[in-house]
Amino acid sequence: MLAGDTLGSGMREFAVAIDASDSTVRNAVVGAAVAIAAAAMTVVGMAPAAAEPTLVDTISCHSADPWGPPITNGSPLRIDIDVYNNVQFPKDGARGPVLYLSANNPRAGFLFEYNVETTVRWVNTTTGARGKVIIPARGRSASWEGSLRTGHGAVQFTVNQKIGALAFFPMVNPQYSSCGGAAVV
């Protein structure tokens, strides 16, 4: 053993051999994990693709603007509601089959905010099932979206919107509008 050398040459070789075997085992484990991950991705990649949602209809459900003149030019809020069926994974996490509604206000972002409370009542005329969904929303446009868990069949629905200005209180000068539609799920 040399002066200042804490391990003898035999011990040094043993330590190097342990390090070498640890890295060999580590490489083998990493290689196996990569192979398993690649196989899993191949299996997932072979799964049938989910069907795309189908746009069934677009209905108009315009409303007076709660901000009104002088804040806005006095024109109504143009609200178009897209109605979709064949929705596998709705944004709100509902389980299908669902009828999915997406209300869009195409007005560019507005300085002031809106509060929206939408109530949708529906009836599945095939099964007789009925339901009511309340969809709250808040933002710089009067947009909202939600799922109706209707089951399969012909569905009729009525949309009632309450749109208010968000000005120190959550629902100032509420404006009301209603519309309806039908679709097959």
Question: Are residues 120 and 62 part of one domain?
Answer: yes
Question: Are residues 40 and 15 part of one domain?
Answer: yes
Distance of alpha carbon 83 from alpha carbon 102, whole angstroms: 7
Question: Are residues 163 and 74 part of one domain?
Answer: yes
Question: Are residues 59 and 42 part of one domain?
Answer: no
Question: Are residues 60 and 43 part of one domain?
Answer: no
Question: Are residues 108 and 17 part of one domain?
Answer: no
Number of structural domains in the chain? 2
pLDDT of residue 100: 96
Taking 70 as the pLDDT cut, the residues of the chain under it are: 1-51, 70-71, 108-110
pLDDT of residue 18: 46
> Which of 47, 62, 78 is the last residue in one of the domains?
47
DSSP state of 126: T
Distance of alpha carbon 88 from alpha carbon 42, whole angstroms: 22
Alpha-carbon separation of residue 93 from 41, 50, 51, 135, 156 (angstroms): 24, 15, 17, 14, 22
pLDDT of residue 12: 47
| Cβ count near 80 (within 10 Å) | 15
Question: Are residues 60 and 30 part of one domain?
Answer: no
Question: Are residues 110 and 29 part of one domain?
Answer: no
The boundaries of the domain holding residue 41 are 1-47
Q: Using the structure block, give the residue that is written with the tokens 């189908």.
A: 54
Question: Are residues 129 and 149 part of one domain?
Answer: yes
> Which of 12, 30, 47 is the last residue in one of the domains?
47
Do residues 108 and 80 make contact, with C-beta atoms less than 8 angstroms apart? no
pLDDT of residue 11: 45
> Which of 10, 29, 47 is the last residue in one of the domains?
47
pLDDT of residue 83: 98
Question: Are residues 64 and 15 part of one domain?
Answer: no
Q: What pTM, to 2 d.p., does this model score? A: 0.70
Distance of alpha carbon 150 from alpha carbon 135, whole angstroms: 16
Question: Are residues 32 and 10 part of one domain?
Answer: yes
Question: Are residues 100 and 160 part of one domain?
Answer: yes
Alpha-carbon separation of residue 102 from 3, 112, 146 (angstroms): 80, 21, 7
Looking at residue 176, which CATH number applies to its domain?
2.60.40
